[in-house]
Structure 1
Amino acid sequence: MLPFLIVLCIAACSALPSNPILRKLDDGPRYQYVGDSNGEIHLEDLWVSLSDYLNIARFRPEVSNVYFLYTRENPNNGQIIFRNENWLSLTNYKSLRRTIVLIHGWRNSASSEFNNVLIPALLAAEDVNVIVVDWSVGAGSLSYRQVNFNCITSAAAVADFIKWLNQASGSTLSQYHIIGHGVGGHQAGIIGRNLDRDVPYITGLDPALIGWVNHIDRFRSNDAWYTEVIHTNYGIFGYIGDLGLVDFYPNGGISMPGCDSNSCDHAMGYHYFAESISSGGFTGTECLNYYAAVLRMCFSDKTLKMGGLTPKNGHYGVYYLETNADAPYSKG
């Protein structure tokens, strides 16, 4: 009897697929076109297999993530911060400054345009510590579905790094502003959640759509004291619905003036944000909801400035505004 059971078990096991599908990222077709943060479009399989989970388990962001510090003393060459107090004391990090944390998107790195646009704008506006998180080992995977999972584990590692940095330096969470783009937009929110939602300000710049529609870990309005999202390519690269306490839909959230591609639209979020830091422009008109914003049918008397370095505590809602095709993009 025992040999028969062994043969039966072997036969049953051999009948199973070698790489079984375990879940779907989103409802809808298995194969969908997804845009990365460089604006390139890829046909992606959105069904997660056993091999995906095995590859995801190999990503160790607590080891592979790299943290680059930029300050007015070193605006062009980032200093790596290692988790060592003696090393930290050799950098230009100052515990009394505010700290801005930048999180790039899919197939990006510390040298991405997102960082290259925002670092000089931030340092010109205020004497701050800018920490660029390079999670490119997790974000650079050719598999978008794996990147979405890596985003979550990377967020936990970044939160742990921030806790260490505060303990080592005497800084507090009240000094932080986290900014993320694309998949990094969702990661920014997840970092805030891992920090008990005690970060004052989190900004999501066109957070990613595919794989995040029904995702329990997507950007949430209560991830920080104040959360703001800027949508510039809704329904394609970017999330369509409102996610933050305040959501801005420049030009209805798609087809930015001066752009001729979805990749350009997707990138305009950080260009607009950079300008908002220096000019304080971009006045949005309140909308009934995000449907009204994408239809450009917002007629309220209530207005709010988009972006900037100061959280707009006490404000919430959806806002619409129009921009120019060239810099300066703000119409006031």
Structure 2
Amino acid sequence: MDSMDFTVFCILTVLTLLSLIGEGITLTNPVCMLRPSNIDNMKYFLYTKNRLSRLAVDEDTIKHAPFVNSRSLIIIIHGYTERYDDPYVTTLRTGYLNGVANRNVVLVDYSSIVANVSIFELGTLYVKLVLCDVPDIAKQVVDLVVLTLTSRSYMNHVHLIGHSLGAHIAGQVGKHYVRLTGNLVDRVTALDPAGPLFEGSPRVNTRIAKFVDVVHTNINVLGYVDPIGTVDFYINNGVIQTACLGGEYIT
């Protein structure tokens, strides 16, 4: 683990203590005023087998976007301080498009919200994201999903995949979707869902989708500990993965 990763680790680990008071922090708290959220600068990228396109959350753009004739809409949401084109996200996307079937894979990029953040701001910004911004991010993703399904009757299967903080964003998407439409999304996959500020009140639970699978890989540091899905997998007992001993697991 290099010095920067160690600093990030120390800052974010302190957040587990802040979780004790998290329930008392509301949207009126000054923490929500710490930094502009830049929700409107979020980006969406549609990948199919042979094409990459930018999406926008508006009816005309979605109507004319080059979605392929597949019943599935797969949405991948990255973790804190990460981007849509990070290697692990690329691996996930490629995995869905390397087979025989062509699919619609949408990558959500909310990295603009954490752009140009100093190492000393990472902890406070994480608190702000969890308590103030995650619901707004999720609502925008829900709007994208609803517009897409409304304009394409052949699409009837939604699979949300989120990593770390993105896992809880995916959970919020599922929650808002059922409130808006009265229906559950088909599947939510939570990859190493974040622990700090979510312990005891995870956004991922069995009420957000028809099927919720959770993969725990880092519960001894920043990952969520308890089982919260329809099925939970604890890889190597959910502790440290052998390929991540150099610090790459810090999110």
TM-score (norm 1): 0.60
Helix, strand or coil at the partner of 1:263: coil
Alpha-carbon distance, 1:83 to partner: 3.5
Q: Distance in 2 between matches of 1:123 and 1:201?
A: 18
Q: Distance in 2 between matches of 1:247 and 1:151?
A: 23
Match of 1:206 among 192, 208, 213: 192
Higher normalized helix content (fraction of residues)? 2
Q: Distance in 1 between matches of 2:199 and 2:129?
A: 15
Match of 1:159 among 142, 150, 160: 142
Residue type of the alignment partner of 1:254: V
Structure 1 residues without counterparts, runs of 5 or longer: 1-34, 268-332
1:121 aligns with 2:95: yes
Q: Distance in 2 between matches of 1:178 and 1:84?
A: 20
Q: Distance in 1 between matches of 2:53 and 2:10?
A: 34
Q: Show the counterpart of 1:66.
A: 43
Which residues in structure 2 correspond to 1:127-142 (within 5 Å)?
127-140=102-115, 142=122
1:191 aligns with 2:183: no
Which residues in structure 2 correspond to 1:233-272 (within 5 Å)?
233-261=218-246, 263-264=248-249
Bigger Rg, which one: 1
Residue type of the alignment partner of 1:233: N
Q: Show the counterpart of 1:314.
A: none
Which residues in structure 2 correspond to 1:1-332 (within 5 Å)?
40-44=8-12, 46=15, 50-55=29-34, 58-59=36-37, 61=39, 63-74=40-51, 78-88=52-62, 90-125=64-99, 126-140=101-115, 142=122, 143-149=125-131, 150-172=133-155, 174-196=156-178, 198-215=184-201, 218-261=203-246, 263-264=248-249
Q: Distance in 2 between matches of 1:254 and 1:161?
A: 35
CA gap of 1:128–1:230, structure 2 versus 1, over 3 A, is same
Structure with more contact order per residue of length (Cα contacts < 8 Å, sep ≥ 6): 2
CA contact (8 A) 1:165 1:171 kept: no
Residue type of the alignment partner of 2:200: N
Note the alpha carbon deviations across 1:215-270, whole angstroms, 9 max, x for none.
3x521122100000001111312111111010001111112234424534x68xxx
CA contact (8 A) 2:70 2:104 kept: no
CA gap of 1:185–1:223, structure 2 versus 1, over 3 A, is same
Note the alpha carbon deviations across 1:163-184, whole angstroms, 9 max, x for none.
1222233355x31111000000
Q: Distance in 2 between matches of 1:144 and 1:83?
A: 25
Alpha-carbon distance, 1:85 to partner: 4.6
Residue type of the alignment partner of 1:53: C
Aligned residue-pair number: 223
Give me the identity figure in percent.
Answer: 25
Q: Show the counterpart of 1:297.
A: none
Q: Distance in 2 between matches of 1:157 and 1:251?
A: 35
Helix, strand or coil at the partner of 2:213: strand
Alpha-carbon distance, 1:89 to partner: 5.1
Q: Distance in 2 between matches of 1:203 and 1:229?
A: 6
Q: Distance in 2 between matches of 1:261 and 1:40?
A: 14
Q: Show the counterpart of 1:15.
A: none
Residue type of the alignment partner of 1:151: V
CA contact (8 A) 1:233 1:262 kept: no
Structure 2 residues without counterparts, runs of 5 or longer: 19-24
